[in-house]
Amino acid sequence: MSVTKDITTLKGTVLEIQRMSTEDGPGIRTTVFMKGCPLSCTWCHNPESISPRPQVHWIGSRCIMCKMCIDVCPENALYLDAGGIEVNRELCTGCGRCADECPSTALELLGRKWTVHELVAELVKDRAFFEKSGGGITVSGGEPTLQKEFVTELLKTLRGQGIHTAIDTCGVCGKDALDRILPHANLVLFDVKLIDAELHRGFTGSSNERILENLWHVARLVKEHLYPRELWVRTPVIPGATDTDENIRGIGEFLAGLPAGVITRWELCAFNNLCVDKYTRLGRQWDFADAALMYEERMEYLAEIARSTGVDPAIVLWTGSTRYEGNNDDTGEKKKSIKNNPTSCQGGIT
């Protein structure tokens, strides 16, 4: 038997609130990034969202080397080495005392607990933008279904106030979580990264079997119950990982087998490397630190493959920043430029 918690005491762990987003649904949106994710994608653009626990990180350019943080840490988790303040993550409990005491905001705690009412009060401050633009609020992550009770109550309350709601999911969750949350979501953004189960396991740490089953489940909910109202699929196009012809073709053929008309948008999101500093601040290496942007021509080509798979060609688009390699100039060098196509699900928190 499921027990519903008191909404006044129910708390969710939120990594960040990002305002004025145009990437996570229609219109101008406020995106709430929840903490915790069951996948560990090698290209992850929000590495600070993977752990469900609050985490501290150090921003060297702000540090005045007063060492107060080292003195106040109850776990002796901080120390100074040649590179600056280091966090022993085995010892750190995420209590946040060091961030509270730091005089120059060089230490930040990633992840804050909110009640539903506190968060709604914060989010509705942007209501005028939503109303003018046809926007609303998107709950992303991390993986929001990991905090299903909190997210259900959050979306229910927002919808009750007439605000358009969306949820962005990686699809790794129980059907019960989808059944609870989705009646309160106008839109689902559903990520499909790789169609091959073994490649999926290799790049994300988990098979895609449950993800594809859940996509079918969501498609049936849209078709039979008209909730959520809309389903968008997003595929990150990552060099050397998801950017092959076979992968895009395979995903397209799978999507073409879902009930007709349910998916209203399939977005191929070009890789970007904006998150490289986050890995540095968390003391981690990133496999894609030196990876270049996708070529515009390659994104156009992959979009054409996607359109040829049996899905409605009109729902396919690609987004994100790309390289362009044009005709040779007088010096024999190729002309290069960066093109920015309106939105990209690779953006994460910037």
Q: Which is nearer to ligand SF4, 74 or 202 (CB)?
A: 74
Question: Pattern of binders to ligand SF4 over 11-50, x per CB under 6 A?
Answer: ----------------------------------------
The count of chain residues that interact with ligand SF4, using the rule CB under 6 A, is 27
In whole angstroms, the minimum distance from the beta carbon of 101 to ligand SF4 comes to 6
Alpha helices in 257-347 (DSSP H): 276-281, 296-307
Q: Which is nearer to ligand SF4, 59 or 274 (CB)?
A: 59
CA angle in degrees (0–180, nearest 5) for 28-341-339: 140
- Dmax (CA) of the chain: 74
Q: Which is nearer to ligand SF4, 89 or 156 (CB)?
A: 89
In whole angstroms, the minimum distance from the beta carbon of 150 to ligand SF4 comes to 23
State which of positions 49-68 bind ligand SF4 (CB under 6 A).
Answer: 56, 58, 63-68
Q: Does 110 bind ligand SF4 (CB under 6 A)?
A: no
Per DSSP, the residues of 228-277 read SSEEEEEEEE-TTTT-SHHHHHHHHHHHHTSPTT-EEEEEEEE---TTHH
**Residue 8, Cβ density class (10 Å: 0-12 exposed, 13-18 middle, ≥19 buried):** exposed
* Among 98, 154, 194, 241, interactor with ligand SF4 by CB under 6 A: 98
Q: How many other CB atoms sit within 10 Å of the CB of residue 75?
A: 14
Per DSSP, the residues of 179-220 read HHHGGG-SEEEEE---SSHHHHHHHHSS-SHHHHHHHHHHHH
* DSSP SS3 for 295: strand
Q: Which is nearer to ligand SF4, 63 or 182 (CB)?
A: 63
* Among 15, 34, 39, 69, interactor with ligand SF4 by CB under 6 A: 69
* DSSP conformational letter for 57: E
CA atoms within 13 A on the CB side of 268: 31
CB 111 within 8 A of CB 35: yes
Q: Which is nearer to ligand SF4, 65 or 256 (CB)?
A: 65
Question: Pattern of binders to ligand SF4 over 77-96, x per CB under 6 A?
Answer: xx------x-x----xxxxx
3-state secondary structure 86-142: EECCCCCCCCCHHHHHCCCCCEEEECEEEEHHHHHHHHHHHHHHHHHHCCEEEEECC
Question: Pattern of binders to ligand SF4 over 248-287, x per CB under 6 A?
Answer: ----------------------------------------
* Among 17, 22, 75, 281, interactor with ligand SF4 by CB under 6 A: 75
Q: Which is nearer to ligand SF4, 56 or 221 (CB)?
A: 56
Binding site for ligand SF4 (CB under 6 A): 56, 58, 63-69, 73, 75, 77-78, 85, 87, 92-98, 102-104, 106-107
